[in-house]
Chain A
């Protein structure tokens, strides 16, 4: 079943249209649309990674999934709720939670468990149930020991895990993460990625992950590449990353292993050009012996 259904989505930010002077001369031509005909369906339980350089439209797309932005034309449905239907906004935001890039901008309370309780409190959930949800959410992201700490005492990776717990406490079906690891060090990135994988595999939560890090994208079920407001590539990580030159042409990274295999293949070595892990690559080379 598709949990998110986006059909021919077109979006312009205000002020993107043509600017003309009083006598009808064009002062500034029409700016390209931020989203230019995007269609995408995401199945329940799927893990989708969205790649693309800054300005490609991936954050704009993410904000449509929880009705922070509304389509200029086209339709976005989350669990069959149409995001344009004002009465559904709270259902949509509860179903599709968002986590943003900067760990310091998302925590609002002075104590971590209060921060996690903020969402369910606003939903009007009875206090004993809030207690259960907060404990469960903090345990799920591995932060239960910090329940009574202040967010200021945490590392960046820990703050992001608390932000994820805050979304989890609303019991969403889907979590949209917009570059959640961009400001973290390698240790923090790994903590957050492991948490995301755990939520997807064990709790069955649908994940939409916007990222620039290829080591995160290779873990996804499906990779979507955006450019100029449109989806330009889509498929398994293996299928997408094998197109090394196309990705590099767009200013994106490819996992180093895939890049080496691609060039070795071009040099005439008989190994597949779509390998993703060191192990696969070394095994393929050993077969040549």
Chain B
């Protein structure tokens, strides 16, 4: 399912003395099945934009189209939009509340009025996708590890069978192992379900290894949009708006500046080792 944002401007506290423009005439299109990273420092408007994509916030001006349909044209259809566009908030584990993992994930489907069999099937497939083992289904969610709790919270959104999944800082505050688990799972979900995934983050390292396109936000506007390699090759622009490229980008750039023939649009350890070996092994042998 596609998302289109057409000339959207948004003010917090519109009309009051505290009025603050959070989005400034934004237009963008995300195709069905795309995996997009939304990046920007705190206050750049990235979470505000994400909340427009499932109708939690209504644009002050402009339109939000999901699957070609203006979501605010017919108020009675907003509930449908929210089911089809699942939003996982920051620190979603704070929203767990049920007595068991299974019941917590079942809350959404039950509210949608699904039958018991439909709900059960949706809950089990969501928990499996999130990598939660069967033994944990009847445990209280509060006794799980931080990474597990967060995956249960994501399963709660997945159980509604969304066609678009929005995740706001899904790895924040986790340790490296928990972070890798959750990011790997999100990648699997994207591949297995073929749904559109939008990842909001301020970690370039996390985003760069997952997404096919990065949208960089600054002061309520889109500063850049392109493949990770293209974005990281323009380090100066990123730094000017308070972001940084992955460390690898800096290594490659520094080598290039010192006169070595290496590519500057790579950003993973594996690619860097390959490129540097290719450039230096012949030198070392001569």
**For window 124-181 of chain A, which residues contact chain B by CB distance below 8 Å?**
155-156
Cβ 8 A contact of A155, one of B42, B180, B246: B42
B114 at the interface (CB under 8 A from A): no
**For window 33-53 of chain A, which residues contact chain B by CB distance below 8 Å?**
53
CB atoms of B248 and A53 under 8 A apart: no
CB atoms of B284 and A269 under 8 A apart: yes
A264 at the interface (CB under 8 A from B): yes
Cβ 8 A contact of B269, one of A185, A186, A263, A281: A263
In the assembled complex, how far is the CB of residue A233 from the closest CB belonging to chain B, in whole angstroms? 15
The segment from A61-69, A74-82, A192-200, A254-262 that touches chain B is A254-262
Q: When A260-B272, A264-B277, A288-B280 are in contact, do A278 and B250 touch as well, CB less than 8 Å?
A: yes
In the assembled complex, how far is the CB of residue B190 from the closest CB belonging to chain A, in whole angstroms? 23
Residue of B whose beta carbon sits closest to that of A253: B176
Residue of B whose beta carbon sits closest to that of A189: B202
Q: When A53-B177, A187-B242 are in contact, do A264 and B273 touch as well, CB less than 8 Å?
A: yes
Most buried by A among B205, B246, B258: B258
In the assembled complex, how far is the CB of residue B76 from the closest CB belonging to chain A, in whole angstroms? 37
CB atoms of A269 and B281 under 8 A apart: yes
B175 at the interface (CB under 8 A from A): yes
User: How many A residues have CB within 8 A of the partner chain?
Assistant: 35
CB atoms of A278 and B244 under 8 A apart: no
CB atoms of B277 and A278 under 8 A apart: no
* Set of chain B residues within 8 Å of A53, measured between Cβ atoms: 175-178
Q: When A155-B42, A263-B269 are in contact, do A186 and B202 touch as well, CB less than 8 Å?
A: yes
Bound form: Cα–Cα A55–B147 in Å: 12
Bound form: Cα–Cα A286–B246 in Å: 22
In the assembled complex, how far is the CB of residue A129 from the closest CB belonging to chain B, in whole angstroms? 36
CB atoms of A260 and B276 under 8 A apart: yes
Residue of B whose beta carbon sits closest to that of A281: B251
In the assembled complex, how far is the CB of residue B131 from the closest CB belonging to chain A, in whole angstroms? 15
Bound form: Cα–Cα A61–B242 in Å: 35
Residue of A whose beta carbon sits closest to that of B178: A54
Bound form: Cα–Cα A53–B250 in Å: 28
A251 at the interface (CB under 8 A from B): yes
Q: When A186-B41, A264-B277, A285-B276 are in contact, do A278 and B175 touch as well, CB less than 8 Å?
A: no
Bound form: Cα–Cα A285–B283 in Å: 10
Bound form: Cα–Cα A186–B258 in Å: 28
B226 at the interface (CB under 8 A from A): no
* Set of chain B residues within 8 Å of A219, measured between Cβ atoms: none
Most buried by A among B174, B175, B202: B175
Bound form: Cα–Cα A260–B248 in Å: 9
In the assembled complex, how far is the CB of residue A188 from the closest CB belonging to chain B, in whole angstroms? 7
Bound form: Cα–Cα A269–B180 in Å: 29
Residue of B whose beta carbon sits closest to that of A270: B284
Cβ 8 A contact of B41, one of A185, A252, A253, A281: A185
CB atoms of B202 and A185 under 8 A apart: yes
A22 at the interface (CB under 8 A from B): no
In the assembled complex, how far is the CB of residue B261 from the closest CB belonging to chain A, in whole angstroms? 12
CB atoms of B280 and A269 under 8 A apart: yes
Show 25 residue pairs from A and B whose CB-CB distance is below 8 angstroms, ordered by the A residue: A54-B145, A54-B146, A155-B42, A182-B173, A183-B173, A186-B202, A212-B176, A252-B177, A256-B248, A256-B269, A260-B248, A260-B251, A260-B269, A260-B273, A263-B269, A264-B273, A264-B276, A264-B277, A267-B273, A268-B284, A269-B276, A269-B281, A282-B255, A285-B276, A285-B280
Residues of A within 8 A of B (CB): 53-55, 101, 155-156, 182-183, 185-188, 212, 251-253, 255-257, 259-260, 263-264, 267-270, 278-279, 281-282, 285-286, 288-289
Residues of B within 8 A of A (CB): 41-43, 145-147, 172-178, 180, 202-203, 205, 242-244, 246-248, 250-251, 254-255, 258, 260, 269, 272-273, 276-277, 280-281, 283-284
